[in-house]
Structure 1
Amino acid sequence: MKKRFLTLAACALALCAACTDREPEVRNVIYLIGDGMGLAQVSLLQVAEEYRPTAFDRAHNVALITTRSANNRVTDSAAAGTALSSGCKTRNASLGLDTAGQPLVPLTVIARRQGMRTGLVVTSYLHHATPAAFYAHVSNRGETDSITCDMVRSDIDLLFGGGRKALSDTLPEGGTRIDAFRAKGYRIALEPAQIDTLSGLPVLAAVADRHLPAASERGDYLPQATRKALELLSADNDKGFFLMVEGSQIDMACHGNDAPRALDEMRDFERAVAAAMDFADQYPGTLVVVTADHETGGLTLPSGKDDFTLPESGVRAEFSTGGHSATIVPVYLYGTGAGRIHGLMDNTDLAQQLKAIIAKAK
């Protein structure tokens, strides 16, 4: 009898210890997308930094995703953004619609249903393909008027990026989209310096006419905007938040086969990733997911010389296309729940797993 009692007591203690050690539930999800960032772009950064640790090296877990669209083995950003936001394949150029033209439910809507706050931070204009995939439903990514109208209707709490001109143009019925945001109670910032002065939500910061300048000219906008967004979304918030941050111009640099600019954009994006990971360190319950919509440029990093007996042959950055490629892209995971996502999967599988995590967020 005594032996049985001791066994039961040991089991109870083990159960209590397991409960104590249980990982906290995910409350916040920070989704960082390097537009056009394949494994070679990350490797370019590592080589340039002489293999000093970067934010990517801090990852607690790593996975890989395939990127094809519903009608093309090489995706565009609209179809890839839709897959990453909604967990469903669509045709190239389509945003937020399935192949039958039916609206899809993005992660931002799943988060709002949970009472979570939502935000988007980008270096492109806010109606560009990737951010638009988180709120718009159009058959062609070029339908700017419809996309900006969907943006106003989306009720996303925080919007940081470019696109000031499209939002400021006078509409046929009078007024502008910025006026429409103001009427819904949004605080408005139209210059980068105004972002730091913002307090409270909802907020729209359209701080460039179209895209923001290249990384070499825009300073620390992306990491600073990421930190500000995290501050605003987390303040007095017991429901958690979903934030998507895009390094939009890695893609633009690689479309131009501009390796020095691509490196600048990767460094800028890496600083935003570091800011997200630092937040996760400070606030348990935060999951950081870093990935890409596709690879751009067909970048490779061949040896500078064929004689591998030399102590150092150098490394060249060579592009094989001015478009996108079909290569798999990485996923870096950090913080609470990082171990739940792993292996080789489709981009839609990644989004579906995030939907499941958000739907259970406390």
Structure 2
Amino acid sequence: MKNKIFSFLFVFFCVTVAFSQNKEKTKAPSSYQNTEFHTDYKPNYKNDGLNKPVKNVILLIGDGMGLAQTSAGMYANHNTLTISNLKNIGLIKTFSLNDFITDSAAAGTAYATGKKTKNGCIGVDSLGNKLPNMTEILSPLGYATGIVTTDKITGATPSAFYAHQIKRNMTKEILEDLVNTKALFIAGSSVKDFEKNNPEKLDALKKKNFKVLHDYKNLPLSMEAEKIALICDEMNAKFISEGRDPNYLKETTAQAIKFLSNKSKKGFFLMVEGAQIDWASHNNVIENVVREVLDFDKAVEEALKFADKNGETLVIITADHETGGMSLSNGNIEKGYIKAHFATSGHSPIMVPVYAYGPQAQLFRGVQDNTEIFSKILSALQVKK
């Protein structure tokens, strides 16, 4: 009798697991009808792709933003994005040193240092040796550098541009690295991250001559500061649909550009991350994918407007990896309706697009490894490493 009961329970367990797995495979598609359209910015292309000197570089990373995510944002916005107006386009291979599918730590490190590393590593090689990052290389040469994100400032992508730790979850140690950053402008969340892991580091930032702010609306009044650390509350690391200020990324990007451009005659480097595209794709929620892509597109607009006005600025837009294995199954451009399927709740190895604008934008055409973005930026700036 016991054997029969055991057999029944075993068969029931197997059927339940199989049903659960099949249910995951046949998960209902996610759909969304956009109602918040924005007008794309059309650049003047005056210096686009010219072989002339570059003074400033703005690197914008849409975390998890593959071609499907960009397409969803474009079609849901009446078939237009500022990003989609760019002409110099390439593809990036994203695999990490130890895995076919990268995480943000390894991918961010590849962009920030030009070296591949293991998943989970921030600014170090596979043995834990420190790798010089973009802000550390350019700052001593006279460039003003900055980092902006809609993630926590200790998130994997932003921290790759200032930190050196063997594990991305070493928040306390990453905050210690933040205090010693070469960047003059940092912006992200959250105050609670400091309070929980390393509360004294907010005061340490002040001692390093950072003006610490908690509201991006105070940035215009702080342009004379030596350094700025905008450490917002956790709300600015949430989705727009959950209450994040829809002007935060656009305005903070604009203020960061203004601040850095006035800090050095040599030029500046700014990394801007739209982090929540990734989490929207992890959650397989197309509404948040669309809204976060459109939000990121507004930050791209600020970068392109400056590039057109300045004439010596290279703008690069890409992703660290694709998330969700996303595909589009239906839509209506006139109504702003989009329907999507997701193959996974994790990352995928699909190549991601890279868009470039301004002088030397032609360098980013074709298929390339993620580590090449680093070397091409330095080449555009005529910096030897």
TM normalised by structure 2 equals: 0.81
Equivalence for 1:245: 272
Equivalence for 2:121: 94
Instruction: Confirm whether residue 30 of structure 1 aligns to residue 58 of structure 2.
Output: yes
CA distance in 2, matches of 1:359, 1:335: 15
CA distance in 2, matches of 1:92, 1:24: 37
Question: 1:169 Cα deviation (Å)?
Answer: 4.9
SS of alignment partner, residue 95 of structure 1: coil
Equivalence for 1:49: 77
Equivalence for 1:332: 355
SS of alignment partner, residue 177 of structure 1: helix
Give a deviation string over 1:291-346, Cα, whole Å, max 9, x none.
00000111100247xxxxxxx9x852111111100100000000121112221011
CA distance in 2, matches of 1:331, 1:357: 16
Equivalence for 2:364: 341
Equivalence for 2:215: 191
CA distance in 1, matches of 2:236, 2:118: 25
Q: Taking structure 1 as reference, are residues 260 and 209 closer, same or farther at Cα in structure 2, changes over 3 Å only?
A: closer
1:40 aligned to 44, 60, 68, which one?
A: 68
CA distance in 1, matches of 2:237, 2:318: 21
Contact 2:76 2:338 in 1 (8 A): no
Equivalence for 1:212: 237
Instruction: Confirm whether residue 320 of structure 1 aligns to residue 338 of structure 2.
Output: no
Aligned 1:277-356 pairs, distance under 5 A = 277-303=304-330, 316-356=339-379
CA distance in 1, matches of 2:247, 2:108: 25
CA distance in 2, matches of 1:119, 1:169: 25
Q: Taking structure 1 as reference, are residues 265 and 170 closer, same or farther at Cα in structure 2, changes over 3 Å only?
A: closer
Q: Taking structure 1 as reference, are residues 356 and 100 closer, same or farther at Cα in structure 2, changes over 3 Å only?
A: farther
Equivalence for 1:137: 164
SS of alignment partner, residue 342 of structure 2: coil
Question: 1:46 Cα deviation (Å)?
Answer: 1.6
CA distance in 1, matches of 2:149, 2:318: 14
CA distance in 1, matches of 2:287, 2:369: 30
SS of alignment partner, residue 42 of structure 1: helix
The letter of the residue matching 1:203 is I
The letter of the residue matching 1:33 is I
The letter of the residue matching 1:159 is I
Equivalence for 1:155: 182
CA distance in 2, matches of 1:180, 1:315: 47
What 5-or-longer segments of structure 2 have no aligned partner? 1-49
CA distance in 1, matches of 2:88, 2:185: 28
Contact 1:253 1:261 in 2 (8 A): yes
CA distance in 2, matches of 1:315, 1:170: 41
Question: 1:140 Cα deviation (Å)?
Answer: 0.4
CA distance in 2, matches of 1:291, 1:59: 12
- Taking only aligned residues, the RMSD between alpha carbons, in angstroms, comes to 2.0
Give a deviation string over 1:257-286, Cα, whole Å, max 9, x none.
110011000000000001100100000110
Aligned 1:62-77 pairs, distance under 5 A = 62-77=89-104
SS of alignment partner, residue 125 of structure 2: coil
Instruction: Confirm whether residue 266 of structure 1 aligns to residue 293 of structure 2.
Output: yes
TM normalised by structure 1 equals: 0.86
Contact 1:78 1:95 in 2 (8 A): yes
CA distance in 1, matches of 2:124, 2:197: 28
Question: 1:170 Cα deviation (Å)?
Answer: 8.0
Equivalence for 1:4: none
Instruction: Confirm whether residue 121 of structure 1 aligns to residue 148 of structure 2.
Output: yes
Worse-matched range after superposition: 108-117 or 250-259? 108-117
1:179 aligned to 203, 207, 213, which one?
A: 203
Contact 2:286 2:339 in 1 (8 A): no
What 5-or-longer segments of structure 1 have no aligned partner? 1-21, 305-311
Q: Taking structure 1 as reference, are residues 96 and 236 closer, same or farther at Cα in structure 2, changes over 3 Å only?
A: closer
Question: 1:164 Cα deviation (Å)?
Answer: 1.2
The letter of the residue matching 1:213 is K
1:228 aligned to 255, 270, 277, which one?
A: 255
Runs of 4+ in 1 over 6 A off after TM superposition: none
Q: Taking structure 1 as reference, are residues 210 and 105 closer, same or farther at Cα in structure 2, changes over 3 Å only?
A: farther
Q: Taking structure 1 as reference, are residues 315 and 224 closer, same or farther at Cα in structure 2, changes over 3 Å only?
A: closer
SS of alignment partner, residue 246 of structure 1: strand
Question: 1:210 Cα deviation (Å)?
Answer: 7.0
The letter of the residue matching 1:34 is G
Instruction: Confirm whether residue 84 of structure 1 aligns to residue 108 of structure 2.
Output: no
